[in-house]
Chain A
Amino acid sequence: MDINSILHIIAENTLRTGLPLPAPRDIAYHWAKPLNLPRSGSMFLYTGVMYQLMPYIKSFVAILERFEDSRLAKALRLAASPKLTGLARAAIKPERDEIELAESILTSIARLLARAGINYAYLYEDDMYTGVILYDMGLEEAFQEHAARVYERLRRRGAKKLITVDPHTTYMLRHVYPKYVDGFDIEVVNYLELLDEALAGRAQPAPRLWSGERVVVHDPCLYARALKLVKQPRRLLEHAGLTVLEPRRSGRMTYCCGGPIEALSPRLAGRIASTRLRELREKAPVIVTMCPICFVSFSRVAKNETIVDISIILSKTLRQDEEA
């Protein structure tokens, strides 16, 4: 499929709706409705909508995978662009259980933060996608326009500090926004960093849900190489009572999940994901991810492995701790 057409869909959709793919706008904050999180404060939880987009990305990639290298793809390339966007809107059908899973990850994160004694507010309708794919794909003007809108919303809400939950959003807000958005001076902290700090010096919960069960961790590239967030997730998992195993390539030398190009070449992305998954599987059948893109990428090719987001594992431990 012609990459230019896909980039057009993404840029057009982001500027028109704030999201890179056709999806209901309330997907950003639907998960938080039952939690009644405070709306005002100076430190806000900012999800960047990446986890919420997982089911939509998966559905979009499944469509592209069917069309990749097909005659239909060639025909689509010739179609008028607005038709392409409309086609994507009609064709993307996320699975209900995948939406629920994404929401449960965010609920777990919210509960973990509260349990660690961290006071924060939530942005609700101002929790926006950062535009990371526009930035990565070189859609510079569209990214600048979108980033300015995001910052304006944050400024109006009086945000001084943001808690992020995934590597892409953390990287964009911490390292890219200050270069692109005039006056951007919001402090950015990742929830794993916050939890790790809060846990320092605390005794291990007893009784523990886990007693040395073995899991293997997959480091997302941006956490490991750009944000130096490697030790924190391991400490959190070990504190919960799990035995953390390292794949052949881990930490700074981690191996990409293939996800960043799954919208451009699902086939190439799938081959890379399978290679990495095999490497992880050699260590343990339970694979811990910390990034929504990695999660989608491995889920697409997983057979008998269990792919689990770190927040779900940590939150299970929390429930056990609360019940004790």
Chain B
Amino acid sequence: MASLREAALLEAQRCLYCGFCEAVCPTLLYGAHRGYGPRGRVSIALQLLAGKAPVSEEALASIYSCLMCRACTTKCPVSVNVAEIVRIIRILHNRGELLAKSPVRIAVRG
């Protein structure tokens, strides 16, 4: 059975980066950057899973600002389960298994 880390990695690698998901994400409109949308979250998840460098406060804000509403999955041509990727990253963060030392704060535009 795949570990949580492997499961998230496999799911995130299915993303085609088409961006159809961004049109329906409620947080992207008000977030500080593209990381507040599904495509950005998948991209950040891949970087966090690679574990090559400590992650920033903003990267974690991207992960924790997800509503897990699954609107993105309804628009995704390959049905990437972004909510589950985000949930696994949160688990790894809470367990201290990511190179993340920063506190997490969500920034809102405007």
Question: Which residues on A are within 8 Å of B, measured CB to CB?
Answer: 1-4, 7, 69, 77, 135-141, 221, 225-226, 252-256, 258, 260-261, 264-265, 267-268, 271-272, 275-276
Contact = CB atoms under 8 A, between A and B. Distances in A.
Given A268-B27, A272-B30, A256 B106 contact: no
A255 B67 CA distance: 11
B100 to A, nearest CB: 10
Pairs of residues from A and B, 6 with the lowest C-beta to C-beta distance, nearest first: A138-B90, A256-B69, A265-B106, A138-B91, A3-B104, A221-B69
B45 interface: no
B24 interface: yes
A258 B94 contact: no
B14 to A, nearest CB: 19
Interface in B58-110: 60, 64-71, 73-74, 87-95, 103-106, 108
Contact of B105 (A3, A138, A225): A3
B94 A139 contact: yes
A153 B104 CA distance: 36
Interface of B: 24, 26-27, 29-31, 60, 64-71, 73-74, 87-95, 103-106, 108
A253 B92 CA distance: 30
Nearest to A262: B67
A254 B67 CA distance: 13
Nearest to A69: B105
A295 B9 CA distance: 35
Chain A at the B interface: SS class = helix
Nearest to A1: B105
A138 B94 contact: yes
Contacts of A135: 87
Contacts of B73: 225
Given A138-B88, A268-B31, A258 B103 contact: no
A256 B94 contact: no
B69 A268 contact: no
B26 A275 contact: yes
Nearest to A143: B91
A261 B106 contact: yes
A268 B103 contact: no
A271 B64 CA distance: 16
A9 B90 CA distance: 16
Given A136-B68, A138-B88, A138-B91, A2 B105 contact: yes
Given A137-B90, A272-B27, A264 B65 contact: yes
A264 B94 contact: no
A253 B106 contact: no
B69 A260 contact: yes
> Quick one: which of B30, B89, B95 has the most chain A CB within 10 A?
B30
A255 B74 contact: no
A253 B65 contact: no
